[in-house]
Amino acid sequence: MMKNQKVQIKKGQEFPLTIKRLGINGEGVGYFKRQVVFVPGALPNEEVVVTVTDVKEKFSEAKIKKIRKPSKERIKPPCPIYEKCGGCQLQHLDYKAQLREKQDIVRQAFERHAKLQGDQLPLRETIGMEDPWNYRNKSQLQVGKKKEEVIAGLYGINSHQLIDISECIVQHPATNKVTQTVKGILQDLNIPIYEERKRKGIVRTIVTRVGFSTGDVQLVLITATKDLPRKQLVIEEIKRRLPEVKSVLQNINGRKTSLIFGEETVHLHGEEVIQEALGDLNFELSARAFFQLNPIQTVKLYDEVKKAAELTGKEKIVDAYCGVGTIGLWLAPHAKELRGMDVIPESIEDARRNAEKQGFTHAHYEVGKAEEILPKWLKQGWRPDVFVVDPPRTGCDRKLLEAMIKVKPKRIVYVSCNPSTLAKDVDQLLKAGFKLEYLQPVDMFPHTAHVETVALIELK
């Protein structure tokens, strides 16, 4: 009977709403007749009139019809295509307020999934950027045509319309300049542009990456076929117009897929890699190598990891989900031994090469799942003191959590890009006799809803 009494919200319905908080994707969250309503673009404490766009079983989605009482922290987004593009979600919120709201997103996750709140939750303030613009070192823009003009950008929110993003204000200026110039070269030389609907044409995507410390730029043209018409002319024009581009590659992806890169990469000009530095560490970046997108905040994030690990030079560390080894190598000078693992063989090759390049002889890497490699090491009598985990959005694998609980390390430093899975995993560790020392949010992607968190978990 009670179930039938619940007021049915209908699509197209309009009603006033007070926004209570921000949700995990940066949208406003309000309650209408005790039911959750998500409103993109609405901010906490705003009074808005909304129109319902979609009704799901547990929540509804709505759009703003009118803002009756705007937040004092609402600002005019500096980007002219902010509303259309969807790459950023929070440009309309003052930056200081963004940092506070990101801390609150972490708080909500722990209240919901770990039943920790108030004084029980050792949550620190979010570490932000001094200048939260032009921070991204890589851009991947789809190429298309609009009235015979070559454009490069992203598909608009929920649409199949390509929006030209020529001057993105969260991108490093060098990536914007190179993309713009390459569009001009493709236009001038009349290179066929790929059309997704017809599956015809050649050039699909322009990928640019810049080394913040060196200024070197890498350019990858992603094509649907191995044949690139007037290839030599394209290379000559890039050399002439863009001397800062030190590495030019072609990647072939002819499949109908949302994945940007295909399996085959051809070296066209210059170096195969570009150089980048983080602190004292130097890295070589190949076209497909993963590297943190915001180098300035990465240094702050890794310093927080180092603080949390409290190394004295005697510890054995495990770097699970090690990728190309960056976090572990940041800690290596202060540890007795470092061991890392990852399921991607290329990442492990990069990690080994990176360790060797920095002169670390006490780092050891294996390809495979942490939850399978760890028990083997334990059998061989190798027990780690500190675990560093930086898992994907889905959180730690259940078997890895079980393995960590069995090993009982002195401390676990958990780097998370998803507060919900972090809270769930911490909850498991607390039940197994660990203690949460603190949570430190770091803003890696200003103006987006994304928040990174370092959690220090110690054995009781």
Catalytic residue positions, numbered:
417
Q: Which 3-state string (H, E, C) describes 397-423?
A: CHHHHHHHHHHCCCEEEEEECCHHHHH
Q: How many Cβ atoms sit within 10 Å of the Cβ of residue 440?
A: 24
Residue position matching structure tokens 């969807």: 86
Those residues whose C-beta lies under 8 Å from the C-beta of residue 163, and which sit 6 or more positions away, are 81, 84, 85, 153, 154, 155, 156
> Which DSSP string corresponds to 353-385?
HHHHHTT-SSEEEEES-HHHHHHHHHHTT---S
First to last CA, the chain: 48
Sheet with 245-252, edge to edge strand ranges? 162-164, 149-155, 138-146, 203-210, 217-223, 245-252, 264-270
Helices 95-113 and 419-431 cross at an angle (nearest 10°) of 40
- Report the b/e string of 137-167 with b at 16+ CB within 10 A: bbbbbbbbbeeeebbbbbeeeeeeebbbbee
- Helix (H) or strand (E) run with residue 437 in it: strand 434-442
Contact criterion met (CB below 8 Å) for 152 and 175: no
Give the span between the Cα atoms of 136 and 171, in whole angstroms.
5
Give the distance from CA 230 to its chain's centroid. Answer: 36
3-class DSSP assignment, residue 429: helix
Confirm if 166 and 189 have CB atoms less than 8 A apart: no
Q: How many CA atoms within 13 Å lie on the side-chain side of 272?
A: 6
